[in-house]
Amino acid sequence: MQLAYSNDRLSSRMAADPSATGEPEAESSVIEWLLHDDQVMRECFTHAAEILKSVTGAAITAITLLDEEYQHYRAEVGMAMPLVTRARSLADYAVRDAELFVIEDAHDDNRFGECMLVQRYPFVRFYAAIALRAPNGEIVGALCAMDPSPGRLDAGQRGVFYHLRAMIENDLKMRTATAIDPLTQLYNRRFLLESIARRWKEAQDGDVMGSVVVDVDWFKQYNDTYGHPAGDSCLRKVASVMQAAADGEHIVAGRMGGEEFGLLVLQAECAALGDTLETLRQGVEELAIEQRASPLGVVTVSVGASLTRISEGSRLAHRDGLASADRALYRAKHGGRNQGTMA
């Protein structure tokens, strides 16, 4: 396996049923974080892929991340790889195996006869992958190697897959402990602010960022009435509404602290941002969580937001965006609560 490629794209498609894995999906906040924001894990992925290529001699090595719909390649070595649907990816098939998954020659395996990765350039015949898991045991993706020639792995090479998996999962465990709020499974305050600062710095002139602050109405009274365990359960349910919004849009969501949440909306527009505020407000109200201490009878939220067009003058002003959103939140709360207000 000596062939190497660069600056090319390929498609990996294979019919498979994701539900057949019997595995739960990874936390979407963890996948979002790995896809976009964590430089430390990016470096870990790159080192692992480079080591795997050196040891196996495979033409292409990579980390793949699997969300509900897609397979995303990260840290590709040997060839740039495209986004493909999860249901038609080799990685989705590979993570069904509890151990190392190896195809020595795809031409001799009828399961892969329709796979574009096999039938089209780079005509992969050898493929090996091992599942990667989040600290809670859920699958986030795979470490893989592939080549256009048939191949085998000796015992030493197989062992490297397991050692690299242990290294990646250990780094992932340490990083998630510092990035994810343990109660809500959203980003914590520090990581949310770091992520927002990075997104603003990387934005192009003319991009519009939406800053959003969400506060649970009368939450102290809720805790006093129902107790802190019920309060924790309430926050988890409210957080699920924040995460649902982040899953469907270009949104980064996190817990700022206590009953307050923050969101960054990428490529924001005024009308769409207003719709997002209403989606958040309505989504929490529709949870129908009883709240006897509220005049509304159910748990609700107040939402404030602001828009900032990125320029050289505003590139480092991400905190100003949140401060403006916070002032809008103040007006929403003093205007009766259970409403969204734009700055």
Pick the CATH number of 18-179 from 2.60.40.790, 3.90.1150.10, 3.40.50.150, 3.30.450.40: 3.30.450.40
pLDDT band at 316 (very low <50, low <70, confident <90, very high): low
Residue 144 has pLDDT above 70, yes or no: yes
Q: Residue 38 has what pLDDT?
A: 60
> Average pLDDT for residues 257-264, to the nearest whole number?
94
> Average pLDDT for residues 49-57, to the nearest whole number?
97
Q: How far apart are CA 213 and CA 260, in angstroms?
A: 7
Taking Cα atoms as reference points, which of 284, 206, 292, 194 lies closest to residue 238?
Answer: 284
Q: Residue 86 has what pLDDT?
A: 82
165: phi then psi, degrees, rounded to nearest 5: -60, -45
Q: Residue 247 has what pLDDT?
A: 73
Residue 297 has pLDDT above 60, yes or no: yes
Residue 309 has pLDDT above 80, yes or no: yes
pLDDT band at 125 (very low <50, low <70, confident <90, very high): very high
User: pLDDT (tens digit, 9 = 90+) per residue, 173-185?
Assistant: 888 778 888 899 8
Q: How far apart are CA 215 and CA 312, in angstroms?
A: 31
Question: What 3-state DSSP class applies to 264?
Answer: strand
* CATH architecture assignment, domain 189-342: 2-Layer Sandwich (3.30)
User: pLDDT (tens digit, 9 = 90+) per residue, 202-250?
Assistant: 888 899 999 999 999 999 999 999 999 999 999 999 999 999 888 766 8
Q: Residue 3 has what pLDDT?
A: 34
Number of continuous H segments (helices) and E segments (strands) in the chain: 10, 11
Question: What's the mean pLDDT when you consider all of the chain?
Answer: 85
Q: Residue 24 has what pLDDT?
A: 42
Domain ranges of the chain: 18-179, 189-342
Residue 334 has pLDDT above 80, yes or no: yes
Query: Contact at 8 Å (CB) between 261 and 280?
Result: no
303: phi then psi, degrees, rounded to nearest 5: -130, 135
Q: Residue 26 has what pLDDT?
A: 43
Residue 12 has pLDDT above 70, yes or no: no
pLDDT band at 296 (very low <50, low <70, confident <90, very high): very high
pLDDT band at 32 (very low <50, low <70, confident <90, very high): low
Q: Residue 306 has what pLDDT?
A: 94
Q: Residue 16 has what pLDDT?
A: 33
Q: How far apart are CA 76 and CA 54, in angstroms?
A: 13
Q: Residue 36 has what pLDDT?
A: 61
pLDDT band at 1 (very low <50, low <70, confident <90, very high): very low
Q: What is the DSSP string of 117-168?
A: HHHSTT---EEEEEEEE-TTS-EEEEEEEEESS-----HHHHHHHHHHHHHH
